[in-house]
Amino acid sequence: MKQKELEIKIEKFSEKGLGIAFDENKNKILIPKVVINDVLLASLNKKSKGVIKGKLLNLISPSSYRSNPVCEHFDICGGCTWQNLQYDEQLNQKQNLIVKYFNEDLKNNSVNLFSIKPCENIFEYRNKMEFSFAENRKKTKYLGLIMHGGRFVIDIHRCYLSSLWFSRVLKNVKLWWEKYNFTAFNFLDGLGLLRTLTIKEGKNTNEKMIVLTISNETNLTKEQKDDFISFVKEALSEDKSFDENEVSIFLNIQIAEKKKKTTFVLEKLFGKDFIKEDLHINALNENINLSFQIGPFSFFQPNTLQAQNLYSIAIDHLKDENLKDKVIFDLYSGTGTIGMILSNFSKKVIAVEINEDAANQAKQNAKLNNINNFEMINADVSCFLNNFVSQDLQRPHLIVVDPPRAGLSADSIENILKISPKVILYISCNPITQKENIDMLTKNGYQLKILHPIDQFPHTYHIENIAILKKLDFE
């Protein structure tokens, strides 16, 4: 059955960066990879769950906000949504979303909304990429990223979100794969060997890490491992500044069995156990330099240079707080990055993180930086807060939260309210759940004072947002 075709104009973006248009019956139409004010011919699917999904057939009148994508994969790759949108307009759209989400709060003159912080490098900003192996029924091999709106993997020749050497390694690993003709792992039947290729780099140190993840279907022979190392090093040697002492290569065996916890067996093939990344923070008129060890499983902010701005700006917004003799809680701490930075300005930081690997990494990084007033507790945040409240201990002056996209649990919010810190610094990668949590806090004695969005991920719809709340009747 032939799909309906319709000439439409894109009026706005959805919260996930899709173009929104309306038909003659005011039905919402969602179109990927288009720009506000584009006039286009689209093919339309049947209405489902209140919306009609469509596809661009022909661009009749391009928007003045359009930009030519530099990436050859843009039309089908799921990595970028807005590479065809001028960067100034990307920032404008993200700023407008914060205004939309916090519209009621902004009617209160006590809330100070700052302009979004642009990203200086809008290409090659990511310090980590994960690429997938896949095969079709004809055994054609693919190594790259997931197709937009689907589950299929597309070959990536050059990804402009990461440094050029990432793509060189990708190309050579594909050649290594073709040499040995391994099977790619298939999530539908659980069969196949090659799963993912993870690449990391220290943007401020030039150190590099490559992690090949395979299933436990079989292991690689010594010859195959040595060959993998050679193919990777050959790709890296195309850069004149290549130094093999800055490279770490790992093999990661993922053991996933039904009704059992997934486990990993890690083998270092080449180089050091970790790569190092440095952060340079300029906050409260101080320059702070910290070093972090990053392992194969470590989480680190994916945009190093913008993370420096994020943390510097967040701490600068605390300039009216005298933190020198105060205790700070850093909840959902990850590897403790912002907590370690804040330890330079406070009496003590107590960080809480449920992931054991991340918590252990934080402890090692605190030692690496000779930080003695930072304590990492490996625990669930809700359990930690419950125990803290029940013991009726001295409350912290500041609580920092940087939760997952789902936001804070109701239990965590309830206990934060019981602890009643003077200040809450809430950093979020999901302003929607952040807004929901802030509503609960402002209904219970807190006042939103500052909102400051940060663009961590150019060419995507994602926004990082800083919010600062203060206790109204703090004693």
Report the catalytic residues.
429
Residue 217: both structure tokens together = 């279907």
Query: Hunting for tokens 């590897």 — which residue is that?
Result: 335
Look at strands 446-454 and 112-113 and give their pairing. parallel
Residue 286: both structure tokens together = 């101080």
Q: Which of 394, 344, 353, 396 is nearest to 376 (CA)?
A: 353
**Greatest alpha-carbon span in the chain:** 71
Residue 221: both structure tokens together = 């022979």
| Bridge partners (DSSP) listed for residue 13 | 19
Look at strands 194-201 and 208-215 and give their pairing. antiparallel
| Bridge partners (DSSP) listed for residue 208 | 201, 247
Q: Are 331 and 409 in contact (CB under 8 A)?
A: no
Sheet holding 374-378, edge to edge: 112-113, 446-454, 464-471, 423-428, 398-401, 327-331, 348-353, 374-378
The span from the CA of 277 to the CA of 304, in Å, is 8
The span from the CA of 338 to the CA of 277, in Å, is 14
Which parts of 263-354 are beta strand (E)?
263-270, 275-283, 286-294, 327-331, 348-353
Helix locations, 319-355, DSSP H: 337-342
Three-class HEC string of 347-412:
CEEEEEECCHHHHHHHHHHHHHCCCCCEEEEECCHHHHHHHHHHHCCCCCCEEEECCCCCCCCHHH
